[in-house]
Chains A and B, each alone.
Chain A
């Protein structure tokens, strides 16, 4: 029985923490998010060299061959420091290729994603905003030995920066008739653009396909049978977003606790007042509780796939419900200073809003928990 991290994982945490504190503290984050791309290519290369991009990619394909529990360690830290990077998006693309791709596809793509020479992402959501099979309406039309894809994908994580997109498309009328294909952004009929998001350290993208052709070498798995793989990717994504939320929520809580210890009003540090103390205690309860759920979800994704959907939904539902409230309460506890652009609390508030809906909000995941629980 051990619901904790290994020594290697603690070392990884320390290494990531040190790198981010030195190379990309929050004032650097603030500069990067104002640049056109919103992240640093230089740091992207360095994180590739540190093995972050290939963390979950098999060693045979240039990665470190680790699991989602290890990724959570990394993402807690990138969440804590609001590190702007298409890291999660690229990791999801790699997971799709690893799980559904042929040997040839893995050999071709995984090393490129691990060494940072390609940025990847997963494009699922459309105008219906449904995290379900029916949400995929982007049309696939058979075309010789391949398919032609037409339609639109929205809210694609780092969709503006991605070189290669894993796209879910419809192959038939039955809900689960879905395919997965690799689409390169510079191919004919493909248009990807960045869309501004409230959290400047995270970028959305919009993908428009107009008869874009995908050949046999671009198809991941058998067209029409991809729903289980897609559902798994949605769970991996939800876990990753929740892991970053753990780090971010802890950071904004610490920021606020620190402020409450130092800010003096009525002749006392405001942290002595129960009106301040109690909401902070409640936030702590929430952060520690969704932390436990996120850790377990990551373990289930690695080791106990049957449990994973329920474990992931519990983690993401709690995060989606509690983190946005934490963001707001922390601003309120600061008073006026919390509301300013220059103070960091607002950065976390915006991250909370990003994390709330990405890969399913609380409504979506609570409903899934109800269904999986027999209701």
Chain B
């Protein structure tokens, strides 16, 4: 075991730190104008799409360099490296792997330049955890697909220019994965409509998306017809839980501790309540376990060993922590816990009330905890499939 960086890795870390010293103002001074400049500067450094090959305009960073970059950015609470979250997380990698040269030329630069926001059309009303049961249909007519059907739980659909869409191009009763195809669809296509869904926190992140004879040119198909499932799986593998997530959780836990010092329970600070102390310590322990689980996975990757479904371990921890920290923060507030977000008396401007109602994206998106348990049980422990 050795947690030291090599001299080359240290040099890269120092380069990142120097860049941050020069270009990252304190949080209060980060306005929209700053963000535009930031996106341009990190792009110029090659840090947007840092893991992608240089040939497509990515940074070609090594695994360790990616880790160092993310870690330094997270420690300084830097904004994301590029604004196209889904474009960078999985749409781009899928296009890099399965796209035609024309598709790469057309989409990749705009993702890297933070010009193109993507959304993801996977889930449907009757195809959630059982994603491969999706029914949104695409019928081939000449050089076009005609899409009819509905998607749901589509995050940021209202603000997106393009969608990566899974459709059914054929039905095989014995192999539901076989007839799935992946299309890239502009959100302003004729016949496509978006209806936002208000979630339990009162905000709007998800939408329903309806397709009514939407015509998509065949050149917008990603991968071969019927290859959509593979394209999706390989793209989702790029969705790594990582260091930024752990730094975020650590910060959240520190904020909960700070809250516990301020709030009174039974006439004394909640931070002196043994139950509160234990729950904070247990959360601290899980966050550290996530960090170390991640380092064990990283070690495997560095040795060139394939990762299996072990990322599901940290996804389960993350889901549990997301809910636990919100619950703990409300319980610490005692009678103030159930105040409305708008209440003046709610500590920290209602931040915790909002937080305690906003975990669905993390906990349910990308596979519910029960689905993660199925994955672990079947793919790692080798138990028979449902």
Residues in A lying within 8 Å of B, measured CB to CB: 1-5, 69, 257, 260-261, 268-269, 271-272, 274, 276-278, 280-282, 284-285, 288-290, 292-293, 295-296, 299, 303, 314, 317-318, 321, 363, 365-367, 369-370, 373-375
Question: Which candidate, B48-56, B144-152, B171-179, B372-380, is the interface stretch facing chain A?
Answer: B372-380
Query: For A274, what are the chain B residues with a Cβ–Cβ distance below 8 Å?
Result: 370, 373-374, 386
Among B200-208, B287-295, B338-346, the one that faces the other chain is B287-295
Known: A272-B386, A278-B377, A280-B377. 20 other contacts (CB 8 A): A1-B9, A1-B64, A1-B67, A2-B302, A261-B382, A271-B383, A271-B384, A272-B383, A277-B374, A280-B383, A282-B316, A284-B380, A293-B292, A366-B278, A367-B277, A370-B277, A373-B257, A373-B281, A375-B257, A375-B271
Taking a contact as CB atoms under 8 Å apart, the answer to whether B374 and A3 are in contact is: no
B67 to chain A, nearest CB (A): 8
- 14 A-B pairs with C-beta separation under 8 A: A257-B382, A261-B384, A271-B383, A278-B374, A280-B377, A281-B373, A281-B374, A281-B376, A295-B296, A317-B282, A367-B278, A369-B285, A375-B271, A375-B280
Do the beta carbons of B382 and A1 come within 8 Å of each other?
no
What residues of chain A lie closer than 8 Å to B284, measured between beta carbons? 314, 369, 373
Docked CA distance A321–B296 (Å): 22
A4 in contact with B384 (CB, 8 Å): no
Task: Determine if A366 and B281 form an interchain contact, defined as CB atoms under 8 angstroms apart.
Answer: yes
In the complex the two chains form, what is the Cα distance from A2 to B261 in whole Å? 38
Give chain B nearest CB distance to A304 CB in angstroms. Answer: 8
Chain A contacts of B378 at CB under 8 A? 277
* A22→B109 CA distance, assembly (Å): 61
Beyond A2-B299, A2-B302, A274-B386, whether A281 also contacts B278 by CB under 8 A is no
Contact of A375 among B277, B293, B373, B376 (CB under 8 A): B277
Taking CB atoms, residues of chain B closer than 8 Å to A69 are 1
Task: Select which of A261, A272, A318, A365 is within 8 A of B289 by beta carbon.
Answer: A318
Q: B282-314 vs A: 1/0 string, CB under 8 Å? A: 101110111011011011101100000010010
Query: Would A289 and B377 count as touching, CB distance under 8 A?
Result: no
CA A278 to CA B375, docked complex, whole Å: 10
| Chain B 22-56 interface mask (CB, 8 Å, partner A; 1/0) | 00000000000000000000000000000000000
6 smallest CB-CB distances across A and B, nearest first, come from A292-B292, A366-B281, A281-B373, A369-B281, A289-B289, A271-B383
Which residues of chain B come closer than 8 Å to A369, judged between CB atoms?
A: 281, 284-285
CB proximity of B307 to chain A, nearest CB, Å: 13
B367 → chain A closest CB, angstroms: 13
How far in angstroms is the closest Cβ of chain A from B299?
A: 5
Cβ–Cβ < 8 Å partners of B313 in chain A: 284-285, 288-289
Q: Which residues from B are CB-within-8-Å of A272?
A: 383-386
- The reply to whether B374 and A5 contact each other, CB–CB distance below 8 Å, is no
Closest-by-CB residue of B relative to A366 is: B281
| Secondary structure of the B contact surface, majority rule | helix
- Answer whether A278 and B257 are a contact pair too, CB < 8 Å, given A293-B285, A366-B281: no
Question: In the complex, are the beta carbons of A257 and B381 less than 8 A apart?
Answer: yes
Say how far A238's CB is from chain B's closest CB, in angstroms: 14
Nearest to A278 among chain B residues (CB) is B373
Contacts of A271 in B (CB 8 A): 377, 383-384
Q: Does B325 contact A (CB under 8 A)?
A: no
- Chain B interface residues toward A at CB < 8 A: 1-5, 9, 64, 67, 257, 260-261, 271, 274, 277-278, 280-282, 284-286, 288-290, 292-293, 295-296, 298-300, 302-303, 310, 313, 316-317, 370, 372-374, 376-378, 380-386
> A289 — which chain B residues lie within 8 A by C-beta?
286, 289-290, 293, 313, 317
Given known pairs A69-B1, A280-B381, A299-B3, the reply for A288 and B285 (CB within 8 Å) is no
B67: chain A residues at CB < 8 Å are: 1
Question: How many angstroms between the C-alpha atoms of A6 and B103 in the bound complex?
Answer: 45
- Establish whether residues A296 and B382, one from each chain, have CB atoms under 8 Å apart when the complex forms: no
Task: Select from chain B the residue with minimum beta-carbon distance to A317.
Answer: B285
Q: Residue on B with the closest CB to A277?
A: B377
Return chain A residues, CB-CB under 8 Å to B64.
1
CB distance from B316 to the nearest CB of A (A): 5
Q: How far is the CA of A4 from the CA of B2 in the complex (A)?
A: 8
**Known contacts A271-B383, A285-B316, A292-B289; is A366 also within 8 Å of B282 by CB?**
yes
